[in-house]
Structure 1
C-alpha cells in the first residue's frame, strides 16, 4: 500500500524478515530504494526470526501494513509460509539472496549449507575484522606507534574525512592508520621508509574544507575568524599536501563529492593493486 504526501512523494511499506541480523536485507533494500527519487520506504525490520511463532507475529504486522516483503530465510517451511501469506495478501515477496546463491551453487557445483546466519560465524576472519577495527581506532589522528602494522595509512589536512574512512576500512577488516597534515608539524620519520602499507593522500576543494571547518567551529560555539577557516590558508594547506603526495609517489583521492563508502571503495581498489606489487 502506498500513500502520497502534499509534495507528491510516495511512501510505501517495506517489510524485511530475516533469520539473521537483517543487515544484508537492510543494505540491499536501501541501495535499491535510493534509485527512486520521490519514493520513500517505511521500514519494518524483523531480525532473528527463527520460530513459527516469531514468523507469525511478523506476518501479522505485514497484513496490518501491506507492502513489499523482502526476506532471507533458510528454513524451507518458513520460506513457504512467507510466500503463501504474501500470495494471499496479493503483495510481492522477494527472496533476496536466492539468485546469488543459486548462481554460486551452479558455478561451484556445490549445495548450500542451509545454515542461518552462516556469514556471522565466529571464525578467524571475524576476529581479524575486530582486530582491524581496534587497530584503526588506536591509530586515529596520528596516535599509536605501530605504523608498520598498518595495511593502509591515510594522510590529509583537517576535515578530509580521514577518521570516518579509517573506521569504515577497519570495519571491512583493513588495519588503517590516519595522520593529519598540520602546518609546521613534522611527520613520523618511519612513514618515508615503510614498504608494506599503502599510503594514500586525501584532498578536497578549498571551498568544501572551509565549509566543513566553519560548521565545526559553530558546533563548538567558536565564531572567531581564524587561519583555520581562512580560504587562502586552506588553499596553501592543500597545495602543500598535494606536493607532498606527488613527491613521494603516494596516490591521492579527492573526497569533495565522495561519500565515505565511495572513498573507502577507491582505497580498497588501490590496496588490491598495491598488494600485487609488493
Structure 2
C-alpha cells in the first residue's frame, strides 16, 4: 500500500490545563500537523485546579490511554498528575517546560506560580475583544464610515481570504477592516481618504481563485456557470486589482500559496516595519 493510501492513525491525547486550555490545543495541533496520516482524538480538561478534579481526569485517561500533555503550574498538582501517568504507563509531557527553562536561564528570573496568569483580563485582552468586534462590524465593506479607526484595511477580489485574515489579526489585537473589489461597483471614497490605516492589497492567481470559487459555489449547491468562475473574467479582475494596488502604492501580498496565519504574519510584519520607520522619522 502506497503512503498516499495509508489509513490514518488515530490516538488519544489528553490536554490538561489549569486555565482555558487554548495554549495546549494550539501546541498539539501544530505538532500533529508535522506528521502524515496522524489524527489526534482530543480530550480537553480546562480549569483543573484541585486534587478531586485531577482524580476525575486520571480516570478518563485510564479509560482511553494515550499521550498526556499539560500546563499545570501548581507543584503538588504536577506531582500528582505525573505519578498518576506513571501508574497508567502513559507519557506525561509538560508542554511549556523547555521554553520556560530556557527563558529562565536567559533572564535570570524566577517563575510565577499563579495559575491562569497568561489569561489575565489585562489591556491586551480587552484590545483583542475590541479588535474582534471591529473586524466583524467592518467585514466585506460594512461600517465603511469608520475606516479611519482601523490599523489595517485589506482590499481584494472575492475569495482572497480577507475575512478569515481580518479575524485572525483581531485575535492578535490588530483592528482590521476589509473591502471587496466587486466588478462594476465603486470603492468607498473613505477608503482613499483614510490616512491612519495601512492599506494592503491581497492577490491570488486566477487558476487558484477559480478553484476556490468553484468549491464555494458547490457548497451552496450552485451549479450554473457565471463570470464569477469564468477564466477570462477572473483574469481581468486580477489584472484590475493589481493595477489599482500599483497606482495607489499599496503593499501587496500574494496569498496563492499562503495560509491565513502566514498572510496575517506578513501583515503584522508590515505594520511593525511601518511603526519602526515612523519612530525613526520622529527622532530625526
TM-score, reference length from structure 2 = 0.90
What is residue 189 of structure 2 aligned with on the other side? 189
Task: Provide the aligned C-alpha RMSD in A.
Answer: 1.7
Q: Determine the C-alpha separation between the residues in 2 that align with 1:210 and 1:189.
A: 29
Gaps of 5+ in 1: 1-5
Q: 1:235 to 1:63 in 2, by over 3 A?
A: same
Q: CA deviation at 1:9?
A: 3.3
What does residue 219 of structure 1 align with? Answer: 219
Work out the CA distance in 2 between the residues paired with 1:217 and 1:11.
Answer: 32
CA distance in 2 between partners of 1:67 and 1:137 (Å) = 39
Shift of 1:51: 1.0
Deviations 1:81-130 (Å, cap 9, x if unpaired)? Answer: 11112222332211111122222233333222211111111111111110
Moved more, 94-103 or 160-169: 94-103
The 5-angstrom pairing of residues 144-155 of structure 1 reads 144=143, 145-155=145-155
- Structure 2 gaps of 5+ residues are 279-284
1:98-117 matches, cutoff 5 A: 98-117=97-116
Which residue number in structure 2 is paired with residue 3 of structure 1? none
CA distance in 1 between counterparts of 2:122 and 2:7 reads 48
Q: Distance in 1 between matches of 2:210 and 2:38?
A: 34
User: 1:253 is matched with which residue?
Assistant: 253
In structure 2, the residue matched to 1:63 is 62
Is 1:169 equivalent to 2:169 in the alignment?
Answer: yes
Q: Is the 8 A contact 2:6 2:37 kept in 1?
A: no
The residue aligned with 1:82 is 81
In 2, the alpha carbon distance for the partners of 1:183 and 1:255 equals: 20
1:234 aligned residue: 234
Q: 1:277 aligns to what?
A: 277
TM-score of the two chains, using structure 1 as the length reference:
0.92
Look up the match of 1:10: 9
